[in-house]
């Protein structure tokens, strides 16, 4: 059963080949038996999962089942879940149990999913390798001595190890697409505002966006149908109707115009990944697409721009974790100042502290104009590059990452780690939708093809990805040794 896609699971449930309770028990047994090797889950919730599975079976028997009734998934541990620890992989929130659900959790529950538990991640979503988690690094099922990518690495590893049928993730600078690429999955970052951020613990509020992580584009469309939509609780939510993302999956690609940014195929890109990406583009051409070179001239400014804006917003968002209202509190503080300083020093990890310090610095008097304001001006230029490009092309394609996965502990320099997101960060700065799909192997490690779309063009991206996956089988391949 764990080899089946969501679409196949839904067919099996409808045909009564198995029940949701049987399916859930199967996945729970796999998690208990296998996850010690990968560390993909922080919290597993067997009682709640079985309760939800029985409810899904009952609803299906009564003929009023939701669109995803009975499908076992996992939530990244950044989404608040009522009555279940939500830690953001930080000591600071190790004891935090929310009294409410994030909107994404609510919407998927209404669709009938079964939540198996909460997945590991980089602390407060700050990282590109899932090595900054308070609960230890996650291992990549394709190469257990290597990282799965981050920050949604636990979700990616859980799917790749077939410990859930799909999972939610969040993407601030590539944190859905990068781990999807490194673990051989389909990962979709929707347009900013398409999926509610209510109840999603904030890292950088103008960049964060939740999305689905799945094995196929068809599965991603099924999940996005349930996740997307306006939410009055989120002031940044887009008040737009939501199409059926499965309706256009089978559209032909005849006449599709694909742009290849010359800046994405230069220095720093692995030669093997470049070759694999060009082979994937050739497949799309066989399906009727046309290809032209384009330019995104401000691409090289994306990383420095991001690492001013994101830490600045993180500095503001994480100021709430002070030991007073909830979360970790230091022992026996001598006064309020001691409470604040020791709680934050003891509760946050090194990468989170680094970004808070950077963010506080660039927002400080005398430096705001030189750094933060300037970064916002550069952000506008990056957005304008994309707007101009979409006057000539329908989709932009390129590599998701410059390199395949790397060994745990291999990259210790923070700047070198930040550069692993070189091709994904600009999308978040512009607020565009993008996805990564499996497109080959380098040394038997998965690599991804990134497709970037115009605003609210998730249906077009999913259509292109689905057509590619009908012509190739990269998304069907499983990590070696996975039973």
Among the listed residues 76, 118, 139, 460, the single catalytic one is: 76
The residues with which 43 forms a beta bridge, in sequence order, are 118
Query: What does the angle CA 286 – CA 389 – CA 447 come to, to the nearest 5 degrees?
Result: 50
Half-sphere exposure of 233 (CA within 13 A, CB side): 13
Dist CA 296 CA 18 (whole Å): 50
What's the pLDDT at 481? Answer: 85
Dist CA 266 CA 269 (whole Å): 6
The residues with which 115 forms a beta bridge, in sequence order, are 73
Active-site residue, 76 included:
yes
How far is the CA of 321 from the CAs of 314, 336, 406, in angstroms?
11, 14, 32
Dist CA 311 CA 305 (whole Å): 10
Residue pLDDT, tens place only, 68-120: 999 999 999 999 999 999 999 999 999 999 999 999 999 999 999 999 999 99
Are 148 and 105 a contacting pair, CB within 8 Å?
no
Nearest Cα to 125, choosing from 149, 144, 146, 103?
149
Are 216 and 5 a contacting pair, CB within 8 Å?
yes
Structure tokens belonging to residue 405: 């996965």
Dist CA 446 CA 66 (whole Å): 34
The DSSP letter of residue 57 is: H
Active-site residue, 151 included:
yes
What's the pLDDT at 90? Answer: 98
What's the pLDDT at 483? Answer: 79
How many percent of the chain have pLDDT more than 70?
A: 100
The DSSP letter of residue 190 is: P
Nearest Cα to 183, choosing from 401, 35, 371?
401
What's the pLDDT at 391? Answer: 97
Catalogue all structural domains in the chain, each as residue range(s) with its CATH number: 6-254 (3.90.1300.10)
Task: Find the Cα–Cα–Cα–Cα dihedral 36, 41, 47, 49, rounded to 10°.
Answer: -120
What's the pLDDT at 139? Answer: 98
Among the listed residues 40, 87, 128, 175, the single catalytic one is: 175
What's the pLDDT at 387? Answer: 98
On average, the pLDDT of the chain sits at 97
What's the pLDDT at 60? Answer: 96
What's the pLDDT at 73? Answer: 98
Among the listed residues 87, 151, 155, 196, the single catalytic one is: 151
Nearest Cα to 297, choosing from 415, 434, 389, 374?
389
Residue pLDDT, tens place only, 364-391: 988 999 999 999 999 999 999 999 999 9
Dihedrals phi, psi of 164, to nearest 5 degrees: -165, 160
Q: C-alpha 459: how far from its chain's center?
A: 18
Are 397 and 263 a contacting pair, CB within 8 Å?
no
Which alpha helices (DSSP H) does 371-474 contain, by range?
374-389, 414-418, 425-430, 458-471
Are 256 and 101 a contacting pair, CB within 8 Å?
no
What's the pLDDT at 311? Answer: 97
List, for the chain, all residue ranges whose pLDDT scores fall below the cut of 50: none
Query: What does the angle CA 309 – CA 102 – CA 400 come to, to the nearest 5 degrees?
Result: 45
Active-site residue, 196 included:
no
């Amino acid at each position: 059963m764990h080899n089946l896609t969501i679409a196949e699971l839904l067919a099996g449930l409808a045909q009564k080949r198995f029940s949701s309770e049987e399916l859930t028990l199967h996945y729970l047994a796999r998690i208990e038996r296998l996850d010690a090797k990968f560390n993909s889950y922080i919290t597993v919730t067997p009682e709640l999962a079985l309760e939800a599975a029985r409810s899904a079976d009952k609803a299906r028997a009564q003929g009023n089942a939701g669109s995803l009734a009975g499908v076992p998934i996992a939530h990244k541990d950044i989404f608040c879940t009522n009555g279940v620890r939500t830690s953001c992989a930080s000591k600071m929130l190790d004891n935090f149990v929310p009294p409410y659900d994030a909107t994404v959790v609510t919407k998927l529950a209404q669709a009938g999913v079964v939540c198996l538990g909460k997945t590991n991640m980089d602390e407060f979503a700050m990282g590109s390798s899932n090595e900054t988690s308070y609960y230890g690094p996650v291992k990549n099922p394709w190469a257990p001595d290597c990282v799965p990518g981050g920050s949604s690495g636990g979700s990616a590893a859980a799917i790749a190890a077939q410990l859930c049928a799909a999972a939610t993730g969040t993407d601030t600078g590539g944190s859905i697409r990068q781990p999807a690429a490194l673990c051989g999955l389909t990962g979709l970052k929707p347009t900013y505002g398409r999926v509610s951020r209510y109840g999603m613990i904030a890292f950088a509020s103008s960049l964060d966006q939740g999305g689905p992580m799945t094995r196929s584009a068809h599965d991603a469309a099924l999940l996005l149908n349930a996740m997307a939509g306006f939410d009055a609780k989120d002031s940044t939510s887009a008040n737009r109707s939501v199409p059926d993302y499965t309706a256009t999956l089978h559209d032909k690609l005849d006449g599709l115009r694909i742009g290849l940014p010359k800046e994405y195929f230069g220095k720093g890109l692995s030669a093997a990944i470049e070759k694999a990406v060009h082979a994937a583009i050739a497949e799309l051409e066989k399906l009727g697409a046309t290809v032209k070179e384009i330019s995104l001239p401000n691409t090289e400014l994306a990383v420095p721009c991001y690492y001013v804006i994101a830490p600045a917003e993180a500095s503001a968002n994480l100021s709430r974790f002070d030991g007073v209202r909830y979360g970790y509190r230091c022992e026996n503080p001598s006064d309020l100042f001691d409470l604040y300083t020791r709680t934050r020093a003891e509760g946050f990890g090194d990468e989170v502290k680094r970004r808070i310090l950077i963010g506080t610095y660039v927002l400080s008097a005398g430096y705001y104009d030189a750094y933060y304001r300037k970064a916002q001006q550069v952000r506008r230029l990056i957005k304008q590059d994309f707007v101009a490009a979409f006057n000539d092309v329908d989709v932009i394609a390129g590599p998701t990452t410059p390199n395949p996965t790397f060994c745990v502990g291999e990259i210790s320099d923070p700047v070198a780690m930040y550069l692993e997101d070189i091709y994904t960060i600009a999308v978040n700065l512009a607020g565009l939708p993008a996805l990564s799909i499996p497109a080959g192997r380098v040394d038997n490690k998965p690599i991804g093809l990134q497709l970037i779309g115009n605003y609210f063009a998730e249906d077009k991206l999913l259509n292109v990805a689905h057509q590619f996956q009908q012509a190739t089988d990269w998304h069907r391949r499983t990590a070696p040794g996975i039973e």
